Amino acid sequence: MSDAPEVRPPVVTPVRVVIAVCLVAPFVAMLWVGSYAKTDPAFIGIPFFYWYQMLWVLISTALTMTAYKLWQRDQRARAALKGGASQ
Amino acid sequence: MKDGVNGVALGVFIFFFVAVTVMGFLAARWRKAENEHSLDEWGLGGRSFGTWVTWFLLGGDLYTAYTFVAVPAAIYAAGAAGFFAVPYTILVYPLIFTFLPRLWSVSHRHGYVTTSDFVRGRFGSKSLSLAVAVTGILATMPYIALQLVGIQAVLDVMGVGGGDSTNWFVKDLPLLIAFGVLAAYTYSSGLRAPALIAFVKDALIYIVIAVAIIYIPIKLGGFDDIFSKAGAAFAQTNPATGKPRGALVPPEAGQWTYATLALGSALALFMYPHSITATLSSRSREVIRRNTTILPLYSLMLGLLALLGFMAIAAGIKVTNGQLAIPQLFENMFPSWFAGVAFAAIGIGALVPAAIMSIAAANLFTRNIYRDFIKPDATPKQEAQVSKIVSLLVKVGALVFVLTMDKTVAINFQLLGGIWILQTFPALVGGLFTRWFHRWALLGGWAVGMIYGTVAAYGVASPTQKHFGGSAKEIPGIGEIGYIGLTAFVMNLVVTVVLTFVLKAVKAPEGVDETAADDYTVDSGDPGVQVELPPATAAESR
């Protein structure tokens, strides 16, 4: 959180905003129940309400995976920056 | 609940059960470390599990009898309302992605085994640590109870013991058998047993789900037929309440309940000691993040399994105890031998998490109650011994919940546990990110949440019982029906924040924080990180 104050890149960067959006999106989508509480259109006989939420399992997986990759890159970049500065 | 015993199914079931039990005992030798009598060893499997084992372990405790019995049963009973479990598990992953890696890091720096360890280290407060420990143990019991109910349902459908019998011993026999098996192998092998068995369990479950989700709809004439029959059944009026039995889509009034149940359950899940145990036993913080990206596969399984509730209705299954709906569906639809496989999957699927849960609760007791308050100079061997005994006592506690609560709505067991465990969220997750909260404020907030949650849950009546009949109640000030756990959590948070301002104003002592900022971001291989593994294996984690 508050390590090495001399070479601190900004806390909020565009990449981090994207990561946050990826992580927040499932909450908005799932907690807004009114947006998907309906039966039509059905998919192979399964009402919308059910297949939509199952689809979100896949979407949220993709979003979490994206967040993970971006975070990894972010951390690596910061580690390189820090390592370079301290040597 | 047919009369008589289904011999073939029972035979197959027993075969798998014996195989798993043997594995459980042999597991003690798997990846054995030098110091086998320590708590790290028995309770965390030496903290050496990689992505795959961790995945199975986490999956092992996330997807349990809750998934296979309680959720489909809730759908069977009320339709859409029971499907909240799917958004619940979807919300879990972004949550754990955010805070579990920090917990892993700080725990591996300071040798924390439980959430209470962390809370004590962070806030320098033994009483807060005790509150977290007691809550963890208490909340785990109804969750274990749910597992026992799951095993019982399977045995019941196979004709072992069962509801129709008047003799109490025969009636509760399946429960006692399930309890005995569980107790025996957890006691001997610790966390290694469930970790190893989790492989078998998951393999069985995948097979059963794949078959069930393809074979049963075909036999029932496709999803169109299933949902139209289910819709018709839900539209019928329930004589007990005078309202329709359920709905295919939650009505306007039920949407608050749906969302709060999903959110509350998601927030609660990783507060449970057993989820934390599985997390801390992984080898590096990267393992955790990698895991959160693949765990959602389990959610998909959960969704598919939930649909079995509709299939049970379409297949004309009529049971008074909803928990029996799915086992009965399997018995009616599958040939006997495969029904046996399916029952084994459910049974083992309940056994593994129950074992992990009781181990986790036992760790909590030993570390944070026994060692902190009873015997500070306990040797590692004594600690392991106490843990083993407590793991038995926790199961006895679970048994009490099974015997006193309404078993027909088993999902309430889990929701009741959630009400309690959610109250540790501000101390744990708050503590991982900030030291702003005052320790006494956290304690005050916790107390308010616990009291409100318990009183509110006590006051909920159901058609079958007067108290603890449900987990949703009107939210004060909003007027919609919502999950009690979430309401209590919000109260908890408000009280914590207000008290923190007050305590800071009067300059109440803050307590010593033994952690440093960079403790929260270290990974294995960094200086001071404990990786209890020979270097050859630890190197793989990088």
Write out the DSSP string of B12-56: HHHHHHHHHHHHHHHGGGTT--S-TTSHHHHHHGGG-B-HHHHHH
pLDDT of residue B51: 60
pLDDT of residue B254: 80
Number of helices (H), then strands (E), in chain B: 24, 2
Residues of B in contact with A63 (CB under 8 A): 94
Q: Are residues B250 and A37, on separate chains, in Cβ contact within 8 Å?
A: yes
Question: Residue A50: which residues within 8 A CB-CB, separation 6 or more?
Answer: B83, B303, B307
Q: Are residues B83 and A50, on separate chains, in Cβ contact within 8 Å?
A: yes
Tell me the pTM: 0.85
pLDDT of residue B464: 66
Interface contact A33, partner B, CB < 8 A: yes
CA pair distance B235, B231, nearest whole angstrom:
6
Q: How distant is the alpha carbon of residue B221 from its chain centre?
A: 35
Instruction: Tell me the pLDDT of chain A averaged across its residues.
Output: 81
The chain B residue lying nearest A35, using CA atoms, is: B255
What token pair was written down for B396? 């006895």
CB B288 within 8 A of CB B58: no
SS3 A46: strand
**Looking at the predicted structure, is the pLDDT value of residue A9 above 50?**
yes
**Residues 277-336, chain B, touching A (beta carbon < 8 A):** 289-290, 292-294, 296-297, 299-300, 303-304, 307
The chain B residue lying nearest A33, using CA atoms, is: B255
Bridge partners for B327 per DSSP: none
Burial (CB < 10 A; 0-12, 13-18, 19+), residue B13, is: buried
Residues of A in contact with B263 (CB under 8 A): 27, 31
pLDDT of residue B535: 26
Taking only Cα atoms into account, the Rg of chain B, rounded to an integer number of angstroms, comes to: 23
Per-residue pLDDT of chain B (542 residues; tens, 9 = 90+): 445 677 788 888 888 888 887 877 776 665 555 555 555 555 555 555 656 666 666 666 666 778 788 888 888 888 888 888 899 988 988 887 888 888 888 888 888 878 898 999 999 888 999 999 999 999 999 888 888 888 888 888 887 765 555 566 666 776 777 777 777 767 766 666 776 777 777 788 888 888 888 888 888 888 888 888 888 888 777 666 666 777 777 887 788 888 999 999 899 888 888 888 777 777 777 777 777 666 777 788 888 888 888 888 888 888 777 788 888 888 888 888 898 898 888 888 888 788 888 888 888 898 889 888 888 888 878 887 888 888 888 888 888 888 777 766 777 888 888 999 999 999 999 999 988 999 899 999 999 999 999 888 887 776 667 767 677 777 777 777 888 888 999 999 999 999 999 998 888 888 888 887 778 877 766 766 765 432 222 222 22
pLDDT of residue B189: 65
Nearest residue, CB atoms, B223 vs list A2, A46, A49: A46
Q: What is the dihedral of CA B31, B14, B388, B424, to 10 degrees?
A: 90
Residues of A in contact with B304 (CB under 8 A): 54
Q: Are residues A3 and B518, on separate chains, in Cβ contact within 8 Å?
A: yes
With tokens 């960067």, the residue in question is A13
Q: In chain A, what is the straight-line distance between the N-terminal and C-terminal CA atoms, in Å?
A: 21
With tokens 């306007």, the residue in question is B252
| B348 to chain A, closest Cα gap in Å | 25
Residue type, B175: L
| A13 to chain B, closest Cα gap in Å | 17
| B135 to chain A, closest Cα gap in Å | 27
pLDDT of residue B131: 94
Q: Are residues B87 and A56, on separate chains, in Cβ contact within 8 Å?
A: yes
Q: Are residues B83 and A49, on separate chains, in Cβ contact within 8 Å?
A: yes
Interface contact A38, partner B, CB < 8 A: yes
pLDDT of residue B444: 93
CA pair distance B224, B228, nearest whole angstrom:
6
Burial (CB < 10 A; 0-12, 13-18, 19+), residue B447, is: middle
Bridge partners for B247 per DSSP: B79
Question: Residue B87: which residues within 8 A CB-CB, separation 6 or more?
Answer: A30, A31, A53, A56, B258, B259, B262, B266
Interface contact A82, partner B, CB < 8 A: no
Interface contact A44, partner B, CB < 8 A: yes
E strand or H helix at B481? strand B481-483
CB B331 within 8 A of CB B6: yes
pLDDT of residue B368: 87
Q: Are residues B297 and A61, on separate chains, in Cβ contact within 8 Å?
A: yes
Question: Residue B108: which residues within 8 A CB-CB, separation 6 or more?
Answer: B47, B280, B522, B524, B529, B530, B531
Residues of B in contact with A44 (CB under 8 A): 222-223
Q: Which CATH number, 3.40.47.10, 1.20.1730.10, 3.90.79.10, 1.10.490.10, labels domain B7-157+174-511?
A: 1.20.1730.10
Taking only Cα atoms into account, the Rg of chain A, rounded to an integer number of angstroms, comes to: 19
Q: Are residues A24 and B250, on separate chains, in Cβ contact within 8 Å?
A: no
What token pair was written down for B533? 């593994």
Integer CA distances (angstroms), B401 to B32, B66, B73, B398, B472, in order: 35, 15, 19, 5, 19
Q: Is the ipTM of this complex over 0.90?
A: no
Kindly list the domain boundaries of chain B, sorted by start residue.
7-157+174-511
Q: Are residues A68 and B307, on separate chains, in Cβ contact within 8 Å?
A: no
pLDDT of residue B192: 67
Q: Are residues A57 and B80, on separate chains, in Cβ contact within 8 Å?
A: no
